[in-house]
A = this chain, B = another copy of it.
Amino acid sequence: MEENKNMYCYKYPHPSVATDCVIFGFDGNDINVLLIERGIEPFKGLWAFPGGFMRIDESAEQCAARELAEETSLEVKYMEQLKAFSAVGRDPRERVVSIAFYALVRLKDVQGGDDAARAQWFPIHSVPGLAFDHDRILREATSRLREKLCFEPIGFDLLPEVFTMGQLQRLYEAILDVSFDRRNFAKKILKLDLLIEEGNRPDNAPTRIPRMYRFNKEKYDELKRKGIKLEF
């Protein structure tokens, strides 16, 4: 690599590398994704995932977190890599390889950040036409989310700290696009033994007042350390 008139020069052409972030949220009924309206060409006016070009001194993971924070003021604990998208024509300007990530957040966490850009949540079944190959990225991310939910209790990242069994069930139903019997669902979840009952609901509480639970993260981390695989 040589520098030349403040340019970075290479013997062979190099693609650009970018990241895209698929951020999932749950509004109590539907899975939502966070999109940004593009202010510049190409695809000006269309919606796209937050993301941007990777700097030479950062990893793709760092890039994704930085771009997400810049564009949406969202700080996400953990983003997981989906995969790289590298079709030749996926960006009309130049050759861009994009490494896509996905993360789950509590919807309320981002409400304050919406002013940072034209960022907006869309229910996953009402997503508008997307820029670039982001439709495809969304499809693959959704499918990965679904698979992952069957093996790891990631759903709790989408709910408030304290939640009811009904909320949890609606979340699972929204992601997996199925419906469960209420009683069987509760039995199955409780059998995992990863929920802590929260507060002290009196025995004589009126039935309309639901039990509250929180996720037992410590216990889950311990199980994971021991390499135990759980399955929903």
Q: What B residues does A4 contact at CB under 8 A? A: 4-5, 7, 9
Contact B15 A14 (CB under 8 A): yes
Determine whether A11 belongs to the interface, using a CB cutoff of 8 Å to chain B.
yes
- Complex alpha-carbon distance, A109 and B147, angstroms: 32
Pairwise interchain contact B84-A83, C-beta atoms closer than 8 A: yes
Complex CA gap A12/B96 in Å reads: 13
The CA of A83 and the CA of B99, in the complex, are separated in Å by: 9
Q: Would you call B57 and A88 a contact (CB within 8 A)?
A: yes
Q: What separation, in Å, do the CA atoms of A16 and B86 have in the docked complex?
A: 13
With contacts A10-B14, A59-B88 known, what are 12 further pairs, Cβ within 8 A? A2-B7, A9-B9, A12-B53, A14-B15, A17-B86, A54-B97, A58-B88, A59-B87, A81-B84, A84-B84, A86-B99, A97-B97
A1: interface (CB < 8 Å): yes
Chain B residues whose CB sits within 8 angstroms of the CB of A119 once the complex forms:
none
A203 within 8 A of B: no
Partner of A14, one of B8, B87, B151: B8
CA distance in complex: A13, B56 (Å): 6
Name A residues whose Cβ lies closer than 8 Å to a Cβ of B: 1-2, 4-17, 53-61, 81, 83-84, 86-88, 94-95, 97, 99, 147, 151
A7, A58, A88, most chain B CB atoms within 10 A: A7
**Chain B residues in 8 Å Cβ range of A9:** 4, 7-10
> Can you report 22 residue pairs joining A to B where beta carbons are below 8 Å apart?
A1-B13, A1-B94, A4-B5, A6-B11, A8-B9, A8-B11, A8-B12, A8-B13, A9-B9, A10-B10, A12-B55, A15-B54, A17-B86, A17-B97, A54-B86, A57-B88, A60-B84, A61-B86, A81-B83, A81-B84, A83-B83, A83-B84
Contact B60 A97 (CB under 8 A): yes
CA distance A6 to B12 in the complex (A): 9
Residues of B within 8 A of A87 (CB): 59
Q: Please state if A59 and B86 are interface contacts (CB–CB under 8 Å).
A: yes
Contact of A84 among B10, B12, B55, B99 (CB under 8 A): B99
